[in-house]
Each structure stands twice: as C-alpha cells, then as structure tokens.
Chain A
Amino acid sequence: MYLGGGMKLENFQPNALGKQGGKILRLPTLALWCKVNGMESNWAAEHLQTIRTLMERSAVYRRALAPIMFFVGSIGVLAAVAGLVFRLDSPRAFGGLWLGAALAAVAGAFLIARRQAFKDREPFWSPPTRRVTQALLPPLTAGMFLGVVFVLVGLGNEFALAFIWLLFYGCALHAAGFFVPRGVKLFGWVYIALAGGCLLFLVIFHPDVEWRAHWLMGFFFGVLHLVYGAYLYLTEKGKNAA
C-alpha cells in the first residue's frame, strides 16, 4: 500500500521517524497516514479559519492614538471653557454643547486616523478600524440618544447626564480596548471607576452640592484625554499599524 513520499506500507517501521523533503516528521508515518485518511473534509478549512481569526485578532489598531487623544482632549477643554464662560447651564444648552463637542471629536478623530492611513499608504477602513468602530458604536449611540432626550425634553439634572455619559464612554473605551493596545481598556476602567465613585460619593455625602457640570466634563473629557495622550506620546514607539 502506498503511503506517500515514496514509502510503502510493507516497509513501514513502527515508531520510526519518517523523513519528507529533508524535514523530520515528528509522528510515525503510519500515524500520519491514518490521520490523512481519517481527516474530515472540512479539517483544513477549519484550520485556515482559526488562522484567519488569530491573524485578525493580532492586528491591533494602533493608528495615531496619541494625536487623537490630544485632539479629543482639546475639544473637551474648549467645550468646558465655552460652557463656563457663556454660562450654558440649562439642560438644553448643556446637552446641545456637549453633543456638538462629541460630534466634532468623533469626526476629527476619524479624519486624523484617515490622514495617517493615507500617509502610510494603508487602507483606512481596515478590519481593525472596523472592529474598533463596531465596539465603540453601541455605548456611544446609547449615550447620544440619552443626550438627545435630555435636550429635547429638557429633562432636569445636567449633572446626572454628565455622569451617564461618562459611564457610557468608559464602557465604550473598554469595549474598544479589546482591539487596541491594552492601556485603552484600563483607561475605560478609569472612567467607570472615577465617574462611578465620584457619583456615589456625591450622592451619599454631598447630595446638595451645586457644582457646574462643565467642570466635571472638562476634567474627564478634556484633561484626562490630554494626560493619556501625553502618556502615549512619551511611551509609544511610534507604531502606527492598523
């Protein structure tokens, strides 16, 4: 019986290591032959699918994270300053200002990533970019809907809206963190822990505090992004693969 590689079953030596094209086969040839014959027709296809999944998982989105963080942070600080200076304190004005800021931040982040991709002559809408967008989309959309409801109905407390946004944003970062460098997932946890802790502290110990929510938004969406951007700028090795 023919076993392949010029070997016949009659000549097969149990436990002998077969040789094929100069490479030592680690399994006895008979075992390999049995494997081949017993192989399901989709075995190789499943193997290829596993390889593809692993390769996709490995392609981590690293493009222009530091510039994006700087940009988003700057928008956050500017929006907070505008809100404080122009006294945009009504729920509608507050919601409108920060929804606009979010829209500008998202659009700007996409443009920065796109420019970087074109500069590196890489496709912008790559699988990692798609996955990051898909991960960010549900929590950000949920936050946007809540914001729109607050603006349209003029629902009471803008302080509550700010915390809800912060928690949603933390969830969005954490979800995206599976497809970007690990620090972003931690950054998401920072948002959730700080915003949640801060909210809990205020509700329990200072329920009557009258802060202006722009300070809160300015710190979380402005200063924290700038700090993380500076950290990335100083620690990243300039990898921009996506």
Chain B
Amino acid sequence: MNPEPFFQLDRVIHEKGRLAIMSMLAASPELSFTELRDALTMTDGNLTTHIRALQQEGYVAVAKSYQNNRPLTTCSLTPTGRKAFAEYINLLEQIIRQTRLK
C-alpha cells in the first residue's frame, strides 16, 4: 500500500478531539463553547486546549460576545480550516480507495 496519503494527513486535525471539533464545526455556521462541550462530552480545559491549538493553526475563529448579559463564546471554522478539513476528508477517501484496490 502506498503510504503517501497517510503521511499527508494533517496532524493537527488528525488528533481525535480536534477532529471531533472540526467535524462539528464543519456542519454548523457556528457553535457555542457550551454546545461543543456538551455534544463532545469534553471538559472545559480539554476543549479550551484543543480549540487553542486549532486557533493557532488558523483553522478555528473564536468570537466572544454577550447574550442576555452572559458571556458567550462561539467558535466557527475559518476558510483555511474548511479547506484543511476538506483536504483531510479527501485524503481519507484516497486511503479507502487504495485499500479497496489492494
């Protein structure tokens, strides 16, 4: 099997927690920190760490605002993040095709 596509997989997205965050954000225009935390059953600290890592790569944008006088943190995918996620999916599909041909 040609391992090339596997080596091209984005290591930042490939981590389980971050992949889950990217997948959730890819399907919604934006999600609040609480929605993400509840859906993925992550701790606040864990989620913050992953989001920070994604933010540093420029994949996720974080916006802070207020709703009903309460702070609201929302996350969304940046165009770069969307592109990286699409490439990641393409590579996975490529791996599947290769293993089927084997």
Interface string of B67-102 (1 = CB under 8 A from A): 110000000000000000000010011011001101
Complex CA gap A23/B8 in Å reads 9
Cβ A32 vs Cβ B24 within 8 A:
no
Complex CA gap A37/B10 in Å reads 18
- Of A56-64, A78-86, A208-216, A218-226, the one contacting chain B is A56-64
- Of A44-52, A147-155, A159-167, A189-197, the one contacting chain B is A44-52
The answer, yes or no, to whether B29 is at the interface (CB within 8 Å) is yes
The answer, yes or no, to whether A182 is at the interface (CB within 8 Å) is yes
Complex CA gap A57/B20 in Å reads 11
Q: Which of A5, A23, A27, A39 has the most CB of B within 10 A?
A: A23
B89 to chain A, nearest CB (A): 7
The answer, yes or no, to whether B25 is at the interface (CB within 8 Å) is yes
The answer, yes or no, to whether B39 is at the interface (CB within 8 Å) is yes
Given A41-B102, A44-B96, A239-B29, the answer on whether A54 and B20 have CB atoms closer than 8 Å is yes
Complex CA gap A56/B26 in Å reads 10
The A-B contact count (CB < 8 A) is: 88
B86 to chain A, nearest CB (A): 11
Q: Which residues of A contact B23 (CB under 8 A)?
A: 50-51, 54-55, 58
Cβ A25 vs Cβ B7 within 8 A:
yes
Cβ A60 vs Cβ B19 within 8 A:
no
Cβ A58 vs Cβ B24 within 8 A:
yes
Given A4-B4, A58-B31, the answer on whether A45 and B96 have CB atoms closer than 8 Å is yes
Other-chain residue from A18, A25, A55, A241 in contact with B26 (beta carbon distance below 8 A): A55
Complex CA gap A5/B6 in Å reads 11
Cβ B11 vs Cβ A26 within 8 A:
yes
Cβ A57 vs Cβ B10 within 8 A:
no
B84 to chain A, nearest CB (A): 10
Q: Which residues of B contact A60 (CB under 8 A)?
A: 28, 35
B4 to chain A, nearest CB (A): 5
Cβ B99 vs Cβ A58 within 8 A:
no
The answer, yes or no, to whether B45 is at the interface (CB within 8 Å) is no
Complex CA gap A178/B11 in Å reads 31
- Other A-B pairs beyond A45-B96, A54-B27, 18, CB < 8 Å: A4-B4, A5-B7, A18-B7, A24-B11, A32-B6, A36-B3, A37-B1, A37-B3, A39-B99, A43-B95, A44-B96, A58-B24, A58-B28, A58-B39, A59-B27, A59-B28, A60-B35, A182-B38
